[in-house]
Structure 1
Amino acid sequence: MRLYETIFILHPSLDEEAVKANIEKFKGVIENNGGQIENVDVWGRRKLAYEIAKVNEGHYTLVNFRADSELPKELDRVFRISDAVIRHIIINAEN
């Protein structure tokens, strides 16, 4: 199993309950596909470096996890179809 790191930004219009629900949803995708979550760091609402679709802020979350090489593809798919996610990135943290 490899060590991965993902950061995703949720839309600022979401309330705290919706933000928590989305974080739990993405953690569930990792755990239900054989991954092991090592750390979840919620950075909270921050200003974006640049405007994305007329949005200047977002809810940032960092997740470190271990998984096989297929899980990041599934997680990326889930991020892409979620309307709450503005931006996301998944990297192999071992390199």
Structure 2
Amino acid sequence: MSKYESVYIARQDFSTAQVEALNEKLNETLVGLGATVAKTEYWGLRSLTYRVKKNRKGHYTLFQIDADKDAIAEYERQMRFNEDVLRQMTVKVDAFEEEQSAILRNRDERGSRGPRRSGPRQ
């Protein structure tokens, strides 16, 4: 069994609850293929660099998967047929990060700076 990280982008008109339901469905698919999902991170609704299938934004989700290559091939095949998934990418990694991903760490750091100063600059 090898370790993989998979990121997919869901349509912008999905609600957070629908994205969580899609995550559960994909998780069940992976478990059915004999894989284990080590971690799932929802990164939120983020802007895309360019339009993808008429969408300017998308819901990003990361899966850390421990599976064999046949299970990953079937998972990717099913993702290609899913109309709710705009893009997906799966890469093989040597080890999983135990802490939060860099995306979530950066978001948390930006949020902890404090309130923005309003009014004219002097």
Aligned residues: 95
Larger Rg: 2
Match of 1:3 in 2: 3
Identity of aligned residues (%): 28
Is the partner of 1:70 in helix, strand or coil?
A: helix
TM-score, normalising length from structure 1?
0.93
Q: Which runs of 5+ in 2 are unaligned?
A: 96-122
Separation (CA, whole Å) in 1 of partners of 2:94 and 2:42: 22
4+ residue runs over 4 A deviation: none
2:55 paired with 1:55: yes
One-letter amino acid of the structure 2 residue matched with residue 21 of structure 1:
A
Match of 2:19 in 1: 19
Q: CA RMSD in A?
A: 1.3
Match of 2:28 in 1: 28
Q: Which has the higher contact order (CA 8 A, sep 6+)?
A: 1
Is the partner of 1:77 in helix, strand or coil?
A: helix
Deviation at 1:94, TM superposition (A): 2.3
Match of 1:46 in 2: 46
Q: Which runs of 5+ in 1 are unaligned?
A: none
